Amino acid sequence: MPSAAPPFLIIGNPGNRRVTLFQEALVRAGLPPAHVVAWETVARAPDTLLELPDTERIVRIDAAGEDAAVERAFLQRGFTDALGAGCDTVAPEQLDALPDEHGRVLCPRQHHLGFLRVLEDLSDRFAQRPRWRVLSSPRAIADLFDKRITSRRYASLGIPVPPFLDVAPGTTPEALRQALREASFREAFVKLSCGSSASCLAVYRPGLAQGSLLTSLHRGATGWFNSLKVRRVTDAREVDAVLSFLLREGSQVEEARPKARLGGDLFDCRVLTVRGEPVFTVVRQSRLPITNLHLGGYRGDLDAFHAAVPPAELEAAMESCRAVARAHDCLHVGIDLMFEDFFHGHRVLEANAFGDLLPGLTRDGLSVYDWEIREALR
């Protein structure tokens, strides 16, 4: 790599494995370590960015999760916008008194609104630094964090997505059941529109009484929590409690289409595009329709995947991934892709701004971050 390459700047959480792995990739490329500005700093004092020298830089915006201080900062920024929205809220003066409870889902809509405010701050500061080249624009990241925006955009572009319903925040579980009956959805994903990593998601099957659902959500003494175990809920009151929470916070509701199988298990894929091209693919398999690796799914065999998917259908799916990438101003996009039962088509489930944490994956001797650095310097 040329020594004259512009230095990297990372907006991230110092010490987080994402930042650490990216720094290690810079070392392998013979480049100096990136300057890191913490998300908490950006959230509370965005003008800190303008104190940096106005010289050429390559800016990587990384994930903001896994940091309690950042979560509190976003909640504080989102409080005013969340008032009157019908979602759960926590006042800024209460935040310091909240215990750190692993897995707790605290006011996700308020948190998301605060994140959007911080992204707006980033856009404003970047506009004052025209010599900085931002690899993923804050506007694109904001769009990618709203499943309702992306699914409708992809559908308008002719990209196959699961059929979805327009469900207003605060819709009741009974109104949802009626809408599902009218749409002839036998089973539906009810996803928090701003969620990620299967956080705040339920696979809902209407039926007798309230029906049943699969979810990793459970309600504890101090609120809602995500666990690492998917459970089936059949108790009518608990089914409606889960649905009410998801609908109150704003949800994407889409038909759960039967997925294709590999070796008897259901599967879908995470396809990472870099500079518009599908480069890395991870096959995710499970006995359940929720295939996330941290929820009991496992990495499938890529050779078996390529042997099973008809070549024409595989190329059509990769072209859909290219179309998704073109829809966003991002160096990389992580795309969740499913093939329908017996490979009779494919669907883009969603796309992710920070879907590139794929440790151990290589192509042509390069890790994911090695590849992204090479493409960023082109």
Express each pLDDT in 272-315 by its tens digit: 999 999 999 999 999 988 888 888 889 999 999 999 999 999 99
CA 59 to CA 69: how far, in whole Å? 22
pLDDT digits (tens, 9 = 90+) for 53-70: 999 999 999 999 889 999
Domain span holding position 111 = 1-134
Q: Are residues 34 and 108 in the same domain?
A: yes
Separation CA 356–CA 110 (nearest Å): 26
In a domain, 180, yes or no: yes
How many independent structural domains does the chain possess?
3
Give the per-residue SS3 of 35-48.
EEEEHHHHHHCHHH
Indicate the residue among 255, 273, 300 that finishes a domain. 255
- Per-position DSSP letters for 154-193, written without gaps between them: HHHTT-----EE---TT--HHHHHHHHHHHT-SSEEEEET
Report the CATH number that the domain containing residue 274 is assigned in CATH: 3.30.470.20
Q: Are residues 79 and 192 in the same domain?
A: no
In a domain, 126, yes or no: yes
**Domain membership flag for residue 193:** yes
Q: Is 35 a member of any domain?
A: yes
Q: Could you tell me if 272 and 238 lie in one domain?
A: no
pLDDT of residue 3: 54
264 and 364 inside one domain: yes
Residue 237 counted as domain residue: yes
Judge whether 297 lies within some domain: yes
Bigger pLDDT: 221 vs 205: 205
Residue 202 falls inside a structural domain: yes
Q: Are residues 128 and 228 in the same domain?
A: no
Q: b/e for 231-247, b at 16 or more Cβ within 10 A?
A: eebeeeebbbbbbebbb
- Which pLDDT band, with edges at 50, 70 and 90, does 203 fall under? very high
- Same domain, yes or no: 130 and 216: no
Within-domain flag for 7: yes
- Alpha carbon distance 26, 6 (integer Å): 12
Pair 352, 62: CB distance under 8 Å: no
Of the pLDDT bands very low, low, confident and very high (cuts 50, 70, 90), residue 1 is very low
My answer on whether 213 and 226 are in the same domain is yes
* Co-location of 121 and 214 in the same domain: no
Same domain assignment for residues 54 and 112 = yes
CA atoms of 214 and 191, how far apart (whole Å): 12
Q: Which amino acid is at 306?
A: H
Same domain, 214 and 272: no
Give pLDDT tens digits for 14-35.
Answer: 999 999 999 999 999 999 999 9
